[in-house]
Structure 1
């Protein structure tokens, strides 16, 4: 089983580039693509919103779920989950942690994030993407990314992963996830994803070398 990649704390402006350089980015094909305004992104989320259960596979071997799934160890075992990303970690949120899963063969990664538009979740985008990519590349890797309801914090991290590691635009990522699960990142998280989308586009525009894991 792959060793967990532990969070190294919030990224400062001085080490964001280091985290970005550890990930792969290939040129995007939509040369005319522009990041849509917030209202259009919200409309896209609301109009492509399938029914949502406790957990859904939104990308091969990558699942988004809620606290009920995260606490149902028997179900996690049946699903074959090998890695868990808790986007609502901490004693005042979903306080599971590595000890909670000690009787399961899983790696645990926790992020103490608030579902608040003013919370800066973007400082974890590259760390979480790196962890998810490594987990999916591990033998029989299956990853659950969850928060309380599985629609905002966890969905934001998965969208960022698809943009960073799977060469998706923000629109592409939303469409890919919403085929399988209704998600709705709060307005602050959507703005942070917009900024990531524009940053990745600028990297392409500058002809930057591909970033690799």
Structure 2
């Protein structure tokens, strides 16, 4: 894959402001948006999508092309790869593919299907990303085939769980750097996560 078509801005570090879970009003005033409102938020003024974009400091969302371009990953300094489309019939990279790079690999055999339960991976992947970002020179690529549904969903869940963002704030944060579109099933799973995190927050329970 030639990288001549890769926009220069794709690899520039974005200027990202930290957002908290309840950025507007008190904790009790926050209300999870409806699925229709979330779909509108995702589809309004969609940001262009390149092969890879930094959506949070040292956290990248990308597609299969960047995942397979080891020279590019090396130039970017990627230390950890989360493959949200792992498996023989998807993007069959794996630890052996990256054996000549100082890269730690985490694979998930997920289907980009509204009926697939991706939520079972929300907390394990969030923990993995958090630990990777805290490691020396940690840079994480989360990818799937196109970098808009499976991988985006996992990154949104990470921002909600570990950065204490609301789902709406997480969507706004990622969309300001990359066009994303979780399928309807994944969006509903994120919506349910937002409801659950909101209840735990109101109870004063430790979210993560």
> Shorter chain as normaliser: what TM range?
0.7 to 0.9
Measured at CA, do residues 211 and 204 of structure 1 come closer, stay the same or move farther in structure 2, by a change above 3 Å?
closer
2-structure distance, mates of 1:79, 1:33: 38
Q: Residue 58 of structure 2 corresponds to which residue in structure 1?
A: 61
Q: Residue 203 of structure 1 corresponds to which residue in structure 2?
A: 200
Q: Residue 150 of structure 1 corresponds to which residue in structure 2?
A: 147
- Kindly indicate whether the alpha-carbon contact (under 8 Å) linking 1:159 and 1:173 is maintained by their aligned counterparts in 2: yes
**Residue correspondence of structure 1 range 1-213 to structure 2 within 5 A:** 28-30=22-24, 31=27, 32-208=29-205, 210-211=206-207
Measured at CA, do residues 127 and 48 of structure 1 come closer, stay the same or move farther in structure 2, by a change above 3 Å?
farther
Q: TM-score, normalised by structure 2?
A: 0.87
What is the aligned-residue RMSD (CA, Å)?
Answer: 1.2
> What displacement does 1:28 show?
3.7
Q: Which has the higher contact order (CA 8 A, sep 6+)?
A: 1
Q: TM-score, normalised by structure 1?
A: 0.85
- 3-state SS in 2 of match to 1:85: strand
Cα deviation 1:149-207 (Å, max 9, x = unaligned): 00000000000000000010000000000000000000000000000000000001112
- Kindly indicate whether the alpha-carbon contact (under 8 Å) linking 2:83 and 2:144 is maintained by their aligned counterparts in 1: yes
2-structure distance, mates of 1:172, 1:28: 9
> What displacement does 1:211 show?
4.6
Where does the alignment leave 5 or more consecutive residues of structure 2 unmatched? 1-19
> What displacement does 1:108 show?
0.1
- Kindly indicate whether the alpha-carbon contact (under 8 Å) linking 1:27 and 1:204 is maintained by their aligned counterparts in 2: no
> What displacement does 1:48 show?
3.7
- 3-state SS in 1 of match to 2:30: coil
